[in-house]
Structure 1
Amino acid sequence: MDKAEFDSFADEYRALHARNIAASGENPEFFAEYKIRDIAGHLERVGAHARQLLDFGAGVGNSVPWVRKHMPDASLTCVDVSEKSLQVASDRFPGLANYVPFDGERLPFTDDSFDLAFAMCVFHHIPFSEHVRLLQELARTLRHDGALVIYEHNPLNPLTVKAVNDCEFDVNAKLITARQLRQTCLDAGFRRVEIRYRIFFPHALAALRRFEKYLIGVPFGAQYAIYAYRQ
């Protein structure tokens, strides 16, 4: 999906997203929050302090309030090729992040600017041929002890595949396996890359989600996370 396509969906993104995930029994806020909560929990477990965060492909800002909730001391920069989406994000959450347009080529930040960058279900919208270059750009903006976290839809999960196939703004999307994306991160120069599978149970079975921490190596979750480290 290019800038024009993202712009065209900016105003109706949440409604379209909600409709396409209805089978899960959850709303878009659930999926936006769990990712940020995961990252905050990881940072706490390893004793890391991420003060400067980059939301790559931030869209209409769905992650913004959850960063403020779970990482209140962090400074957040949202970047996207869709200026219209960033305007929607700024209108929704004024003053809670820095909203910066991106030309799709070079991120407008100096080297070593961020402690952590994340991309929430962004890379399946980007042609595979561009992945290594963009991952190298993200690595450039990270500090040497920084990390990149990428969440993506899992093409090994049939319900996920159906939801993506039925979604208007995913019409040109190409799902990526976790192993493929892990290798691409290594090709881009990241030294260590981990895979964690996520979301195994729908809302009706939410009581079982406390066991998901034991399933992160099972490749059938609805989504997965890639944790990529510069060193």
Structure 2
Amino acid sequence: MDKAEFDSFADEYLSLHARNISASGEGPEFFAEYKIRDIVEEMTRRHALPARMLDFGSGVGTSIPWVKRYLPTAQLTCADVSERSLEVAQKRFPESSRFVHFDGHTLPFEQGEFNLAYAMCVFHHIDHAEHGHLLRELKRVVGPKGTLVIFEHNPLNPLTVRAVNTCEFDVNARLITARNMKQACVDAGFSNVDVRFRIFFPHRLARLRPLEKYLTRVPLGAQYAVYASGT
């Protein structure tokens, strides 16, 4: 994870991101909200709403307001290698979360400290050789009863690939197939690893989005989610 790279983009991240995804007809808030909403719906189905959550690679805090909306009693910790991004996040949402800098290798948390950890389009910024170690770190901090949720861009979707290839802060990114991300979680010791594909219709076809719940196994969505259990 390149700390200097993300420090340099922290102050303009939101405007760059909004410009980059403009073809979808949606803003960054749409993508941040749907992820948290999906997590809440799934964990409600499992009767396991989390009380202590970790936002791994939290950046400038895009997910914070949605956690506060959908899980108002949950304790949220935001962790990132970019100190500047954490400063921006804390300024945007003061006293909303715990903000923790980490060195990109070892998460400074106790075993089982969190019920759930999530990473929103973070792993494609990390050297693939480091994925295994960081996934084991995430497994450690969610413990045997916790859940990890990873959202990533789908390299099988041409519009997603185009957006990533034209994005300033994705210049060094390497997209990960859902199959490889799932296998990496299994290799790290997670169980019940499940993949779901998301975001099939742009804003102009938003009326069709209720159909997406029937398409989660179709590997053409713009993004995908991996749900993995600590045991």
Tell me the distance in 1 between the aligned counterparts of 2:92 and 2:74. Answer: 19
User: 1:193, CA displacement in angstroms?
Assistant: 0.5
Q: Which amino acid aligns with 1:74?
A: A
Corresponding residue number in structure 1 for 2:154:
154
The normalised TM-score by structure 2 is: 0.99
1:59-86 deviation per Cα after TM superposition (whole angstroms, max 9, x unaligned): 0000000000011110000000000000
User: In percent, how many aligned pairs have the same letter?
Assistant: 65
User: 1:49, CA displacement in angstroms?
Assistant: 2.4
Tell me the distance in 2 between the aligned counterparts of 1:166 and 1:80. Answer: 24
Corresponding residue number in structure 2 for 1:114:
114
Corresponding residue number in structure 1 for 2:49:
49
Tell me the distance in 2 between the aligned counterparts of 1:215 and 1:11. Answer: 36
User: 1:192, CA displacement in angstroms?
Assistant: 1.8
1:91-128 deviation per Cα after TM superposition (whole angstroms, max 9, x unaligned): 00001110000011110101110000000000000000
Secondary structure of the equivalent of 1:164? helix
In the TM superposition, what are the counterparts of 1:1-231 in structure 2 within 5 Å? 1-231=1-231
Q: Which amino acid aligns with 2:215?
A: L
Q: Which amino acid aligns with 1:189?
A: G
Q: Which deviates further from its counterpart, 42-51 or 16-25?
A: 42-51
Aligned length: 231
Tell me the distance in 2 between the aligned counterparts of 1:207 and 1:109. Answer: 43
In the TM superposition, structure 1's runs of 4+ consecutive aligned residues that sit over 3 Å from their partners are: none
User: 1:230, CA displacement in angstroms?
Assistant: 1.3
User: 1:144, CA displacement in angstroms?
Assistant: 1.5
Cα RMSD (Å) of the superposition? Answer: 0.6
1:174-210 deviation per Cα after TM superposition (whole angstroms, max 9, x unaligned): 0000000000001111122100000000000001000
Secondary structure of the equivalent of 1:145? coil
The normalised TM-score by structure 1 is: 0.99
Q: Which amino acid aligns with 1:101?
A: H
1:13-56 deviation per Cα after TM superposition (whole angstroms, max 9, x unaligned): 00000001000000000001000000011111111121000000
